Chain A
Amino acid sequence: MTEKALVLEDVSVVFPASIRPSLDRCSFKIGASERVALLGLNGSGKTTLLLAAVGLVPCSGRIILGGQEVGLADWPVLRRKIGFLFAIPEDQLLLPKVKDDVELSLRHRRYSPSQASQVALRILEALGIQDLAEMAPYQLSHGQRLMAALAGVLVPDPSLVLLDEPTSRLDPPARRRLAELLDRRKEALLIATHDLDFAAGLCDRYILLDQGRVSESGSDFKAVANRWGVRAPL
């Protein structure tokens, strides 16, 4: 049987002082190399679910990553297999230069400084942003920051990548380039978005969240468009 990249079983998140669970017994599986869109309206729990899946918010239920059930002590090691792109990319750009920041992702993987430098330059070239290597994150536009953050996410070749609203604030050509780039990758992808065109063009199927619950899953993105009363994805 093929190992699943991510399995969630009855995962719930209740924030203190909230009147209802932010996530309510969510269960689903994502296969290796599978691309899944996590759809939902604003406030439906998409970001919370991504954060719970990497152990950044406390939750109940079971999380299984790459066939291994996650206990609290396992996170530091298991997180090395996961890439996570935040909705606001500047939050995860931690070093003064783009290239240094990308190299940071290789630090725990026993790369020598020269190896790390070469690998970082390779991923920057692959993303078409090698010109930004020596620049500081604050000098970049939103789209450039997103690509720089994505370089740091993808450079260690994670087996699972979680992306939180990657297309928000991107212009159409940048959005298309991002879709093409992700389309070439082999990692399992879980993409939280409400961009139906982007999701339908890239993902094999979707999981629909509604008020913290998995309300539906499937591959008919037009059905979601109909439900939301918007134009069906092209």
Chain B
Amino acid sequence: MKTDSLGLWKRSPGLQSLAPATRLLLGAILLAGLLLTRPSTLASATWIAVSVAVWLALLRTPIRLLLGMAVWAVVLGSPLFLVAAVFADFNSGLPPPALATGLLQALEILLKGTAVTMAGLTTLSTVDAAQLQEGLTGLRLPRKVSVLITQILVQTGILIEETGSLIRAIRLRTPAGRLGLSWMLARGIPSIWLPRVMGRAERVAWAMTLRGFDGEIRTPEPIPARPLDWIYAVAALLWLAITLTVREARVS
């Protein structure tokens, strides 16, 4: 049996007693809170860190998966340090020194980006593809939107799998130490990968045509919310309210 090519589906064993829609809702509230908060003071940074830690403790996401997500988040965010100077205000003349201010701001964005990325990915790791669609339907999103999001994620998993095999092929065909050759092959990836993606899209469209699939599918009936779902949802909304209050207090 193949493993999950997206590497995320249902990897977090926590909160499984909640309906998929509730899990997604909690993740969405956490995301909203993180996006609205600026970890620019010790208090707000601590608040973010504690919130994310509590979320991860509830989900019981495997450490190895978390590390993988963190690496991805840092890789995506680290170039921000290269533009630290852009954030620096050299004219302020106030301590701390201007470049340090820029670095702090880049660090702030990196921290926030890491938290947001991990919140999003861990939310996805609480469901599988079927539960994702069921959860999105339960959140009363338009049916086509829920189908579209699910298809994007399912097809992304398949593309990641294909990209992995492409990279393995490049490794196999590149002699050790031949950096020039590696670079040549790596440059070729887009010209191989893109037509492959387009070819797949065409074949999926053919299959949709042949099977009469027009996006209007019968999605499963959402599981009704139970008291536990309501308790978690209210707690999450309370958390969001506190987060916004902290933010407003800091702004004022």
Binding site for B on A (CB under 8 A): 51, 54, 56, 76, 79-80, 82, 84, 86, 88, 90-92, 94-97, 100, 103-105, 107-108, 113, 134, 136-141, 144, 152
Contact = CB atoms under 8 A, between A and B. Distances in A.
Nearest to B151: A94
Contacts, number: 84
B130 A97 contact: yes
Given A91-B204, A94-B204, A96-B132, A138 B158 contact: yes
Contact of A92 (B207, B217, B218): B207
B4 interface: yes
Given A79-B210, A91-B207, A140-B2, A103 B9 contact: no
29 contacts: A51-B206, A54-B210, A56-B210, A79-B209, A79-B212, A84-B210, A86-B207, A88-B203, A91-B204, A91-B207, A92-B210, A92-B211, A94-B151, A94-B207, A94-B211, A96-B129, A96-B132, A100-B218, A103-B218, A107-B212, A113-B218, A134-B130, A136-B128, A137-B154, A138-B2, A138-B154, A139-B2, A141-B1, A141-B2
A161 B155 CA distance: 26
B104 interface: no
Nearest to B10: A136
Contact of B213 (A90, A104, A138): A104
Given A86-B206, A92-B203, 17 more contacts: A56-B210, A79-B212, A94-B213, A95-B217, A96-B128, A96-B133, A96-B154, A97-B129, A100-B217, A104-B217, A107-B217, A108-B212, A134-B130, A136-B129, A138-B158, A139-B2, A139-B4
Contacts of B208: 94
B200 interface: yes
Contacts of B150: 96
Interface string B194-207: 00000010011011
B204 A100 contact: no
Interface residues of chain A: helix, strand, loop or mixed (majority): helix
Interface residues of B, number: 32
A138 B211 contact: no
A198 B192 CA distance: 33
Contacts of B154: 96, 136-138
A94 to B, nearest CB: 5
Given A96-B129, A136-B130, A86 B203 contact: yes
Nearest to B9: A136
A229 B211 CA distance: 39
A81 to B, nearest CB: 11
A95 B215 CA distance: 10
Nearest to A101: B211
3 smallest CB-CB distances across A and B, nearest first, come from: A92-B207, A96-B129, A96-B130
A91 B203 contact: yes
B130 A105 contact: no
Given A91-B203, A96-B133, A138 B5 contact: yes
B107 interface: no
B149 to A, nearest CB: 11
A192 B103 CA distance: 62
Contacts of B65: none
Given A86-B207, A90-B158, A100 B130 contact: yes
A138 B218 contact: no
A96 B200 CA distance: 17
A145 to B, nearest CB: 9
A220 to B, nearest CB: 33
Nearest to A83: B210
B14 interface: no
B18 interface: no
Instruction: Point out which of A80, A84, A92 has the most chain B C-beta atoms below 10 A from its C-beta.
Output: A92
B6 interface: yes
A144 B2 CA distance: 10
Nearest to A134: B130
Contacts of A92: 203-204, 207, 210-211
B157 interface: yes
Interface in B1-42: 1-6, 9
Nearest to A75: B209
A107 to B, nearest CB: 7
